[in-house]
Structure 1
């Protein structure tokens, strides 16, 4: 049974009020909220076995190491990676992308081509631009259509023997578009290119099977999955991770050090220099356990129901336009919208006064907004702990904002 009241009781922040109103948190695409179980795991770490890992023979260090490596195994199992050492702990999605981009600096040459999509977050645009500046590679872009979907025929035309890397998000943070990543990966592999998928927005909604996708790299963040900020992972196929040089130098990532020569540790430690966010990694594993206990099929079904309900209710407001795929298409629980003649920031500010948290602006996806010729959108993004009653509150708040601003 999907017991929404029981689930909501797991999240202490949902009990608070904002500006005198019950909090309606609809900014889940920016960060999800954290259940008490995950909060408790952080407190437990610092209260009972706070110690550095992998280096100590004492009991606390061994307990912390065991818990941290168990979390790595949880991530491996959840995403069906072949080996635990293919899971690299990072500070989040952006860290993972930059790690790969830095590694390819020593592989790419002038005239090589990199493909990204028009639906990318800035963190999956800027590192590749920087990589092209360093190497002389050329950045190409898969265009999008007015429905907020990638034009796959154009992707076919961009691919060539010069294509070395393809980088696409699994789901657009700005529009909720679910991209056809399996097809994108297969076609890239057909021309010998590697593929990195930005899974930051997908992992709260979809249980990606990395071996079935045959993806070369996949990155995500814990804080999108009910976990803490400052934690995430990079998955890389073993062969690719062995080809890439270390991203940072320091402790933990070495085998032997002398002033004449340093040799590097094997995977995954080669890419995990210094003391990591130990409790963040452990808490990430607990968050994955929590979401799996609810069930990703249950989460997807419930969130799709919320998405359809919210779409119908919002479209009853005169002058409201939703950007991105139709609710019946390949889309997750994100609604990006504007009301004709009203700036999205003004709507967001007013609904906040009524306790409703939404995101406004370009959502770190400015090229999308430029494509639609708009300054930004109001984005309401739903999680499995939201309710239809909260959607109703959103609609009332948006109507009140429209009345005040029209």
Structure 2
């Protein structure tokens, strides 16, 4: 990992991403929606093409050369992911479609087998729907209690008193986001995990907005499960990761049967394969796994700490520029707390619906997100807004991109006659 330089060569990085040389609405594309999905470098695109051109074969089955090559590169990608997040081995790494599937898998396996009537499932008000709905469904099935840690609207942080009270109330499971996709808030998941474990809880971390942008260490956090998506970290769609502690995964029964997850089958019984294949039924997303490993290589070559520093600088610059704007409300931790904020900036322009804001941005060639961002309790109940606009940054964004966004805000105000 090369973290020796203090800044990224954004213009050089952009050349690796073919889509960034295209136009939108007739203008050069400015992509500010990486929290939804990241763009893909040519190295990742080439890896997918190379698989289909040169060694397309099923894995873990064939003993011919191209099947062995496919298997080797697929398994090698898991080693890269394990190393990237500090996991002990590939036995901890289960490939799924995305963060959503990973969280649902936990709910339908470990939680289904261990949560009982009256048990408390604890999440926070800043969670993505993917970290709400599986627990909502589970709580109804098992007659468990779903409780929420409150979020302070003004600071964008978890409320300390609420967190302390809820964590000490002996929850059976705590599932928390590492970084909010709306507020950008980076939670102290290590501290939450420590407190939760002291009170007997299992800990799940939604790291969809963290792993692509900052150094993550599952052993340091000591979480029991962690979930994240490949498509948010330069990889393709349809591939995601569920990390789990080996002893927990070993003691958990799978829910999908067939293919790779089987060791033996007789007429009336079967035994499971070793980890992680026990949870990977059927033919895998082979090219997705291989390309995810290439995406990890790309991030490591740039340097994940350098990417984080770049995003801190860019986010601070965006907050400074937004503070110059009248009739604009910004959500999440302020400029004095950048270390607790990821590269996500949500905002509202007074009197203008965020969908209109996004439409005008689109006319300027700028891609941003507008809506509730799959976090309705946070946006509609805590922030009290029907929707908000969001800019999100990554390694291929620059201060010039932010400046273009500010010019688009001025255009919105001009069209809607807002000073």
Q: Where on the TM-score scale, by shorter chain, does this alignment land: which range?
A: over 0.9
Question: How far apart, CA to CA, are the structure 1 residues paired with 2:252 and 2:215?
Answer: 27
Q: Structure 1 residue 178 and structure 2 residue 178: aligned?
A: no
Question: How far apart, CA to CA, are the structure 2 residues paired with 1:355 and 1:119?
Answer: 30
Q: Which residue of 1 aligns with 2:356?
A: 346
Q: After TM superposition, give the deviation of residue 310 of structure 1 in Å.
A: 1.2
Structure 1: unaligned runs, 5 residues or longer: none
Q: Structure 1 residue 158 and structure 2 residue 166: aligned?
A: yes
Is the deviation greater in 153-162 or in 132-141? Answer: 153-162
Q: Among residues 326, 341, 366, which one is paired with 1:331 in the alignment?
A: 341
8 Å CA contact retained: 1:161, 1:192: no
Question: How far apart, CA to CA, are the structure 2 residues paired with 1:395 and 1:247?
Answer: 49
Superposed CA RMSD in Å reads 1.0
Question: How far apart, CA to CA, are the structure 1 residues paired with 2:333 and 2:264?
Answer: 53
Q: Equivalent residue of 2:69, what SS?
A: helix
Q: Which residue of 1 aligns with 2:26?
A: 20
Q: Among residues 80, 91, 104, which one is paired with 2:97 in the alignment?
A: 91
Q: Where in structure 1 do 4 or more consecutive aligned residues deviate above 3 Å?
A: none
Question: How far apart, CA to CA, are the structure 1 residues paired with 2:167 and 2:330?
Answer: 32
Q: Which residue of 1 aligns with 2:292?
A: 284
Q: Where does 1:242-281 land on structure 2 (aligned, <5 Å)? A: 242-281=250-289
Q: Which residue of 1 aligns with 2:131?
A: 124
Q: Structure 1 residue 359 and structure 2 residue 332: aligned?
A: no
Q: Equivalent residue of 1:163, what SS?
A: coil
Q: After TM superposition, give the deviation of residue 265 of structure 1 in Å.
A: 1.1
Q: After TM superposition, give the deviation of residue 157 of structure 1 in Å.
A: 1.1
Q: Structure 1 residue 396 and structure 2 residue 407: aligned?
A: yes
1:125-158 CA distances to partner (integer Å, 9 max, x unpaired)?
A: 0000111111111111000102111012212211
Q: Which residue of 2 aligns with 1:311?
A: 319
Q: Where does 1:35-54 land on structure 2 (aligned, <5 Å)? A: 35-54=41-60
Question: How far apart, CA to CA, are the structure 2 residues paired with 1:217 and 1:24?
Answer: 35
Q: Structure 1 residue 294 and structure 2 residue 302: aligned?
A: yes
Question: How far apart, CA to CA, are the structure 1 residues paired with 2:366 and 2:322?
Answer: 15
Q: Which residue of 1 aligns with 2:156?
A: 148
Question: How far apart, CA to CA, are the structure 2 residues paired with 1:145 and 1:223?
Answer: 30
Question: How far apart, CA to CA, are the structure 2 residues paired with 1:259 and 1:327?
Answer: 64
1:143-202 CA distances to partner (integer Å, 9 max, x unpaired)?
A: 010211101221221134641100000000011000111110000000111100000001
Question: How far apart, CA to CA, are the structure 2 residues paired with 1:387 and 1:35?
Answer: 17
Q: After TM superposition, give the deviation of residue 376 of structure 1 in Å.
A: 1.1
For these two proteins, the number of residue pairs brought into alignment is 406
8 Å CA contact retained: 1:51, 1:64: yes
1:92-121 CA distances to partner (integer Å, 9 max, x unpaired)?
A: 101110110001112111111110011100
8 Å CA contact retained: 2:151, 2:158: yes
Structure 2: unaligned runs, 5 residues or longer: none
Q: After TM superposition, give the deviation of residue 291 of structure 1 in Å.
A: 0.6
Q: Among residues 14, 21, 24, which one is paired with 1:8 in the alignment?
A: 14
Q: Which residue of 1 aligns with 2:84?
A: 78
Q: Among residues 113, 121, 124, which one is paired with 2:120 in the alignment?
A: 113
TM-score (normalizing by structure 2): 0.95
Q: Where does 1:201-240 land on structure 2 (aligned, <5 Å)? A: 201-240=209-248
TM-score (normalizing by structure 1): 0.98
8 Å CA contact retained: 2:38, 2:234: yes
Q: Among residues 186, 190, 198, which one is paired with 2:198 in the alignment?
A: 190
8 Å CA contact retained: 2:320, 2:335: no
Q: After TM superposition, give the deviation of residue 403 of structure 1 in Å.
A: 1.1
Question: How far apart, CA to CA, are the structure 1 residues paired with 2:85 and 2:361?
Answer: 37
Q: After TM superposition, give the deviation of residue 259 of structure 1 in Å.
A: 2.3
Q: Which residue of 1 aligns with 2:328?
A: 320
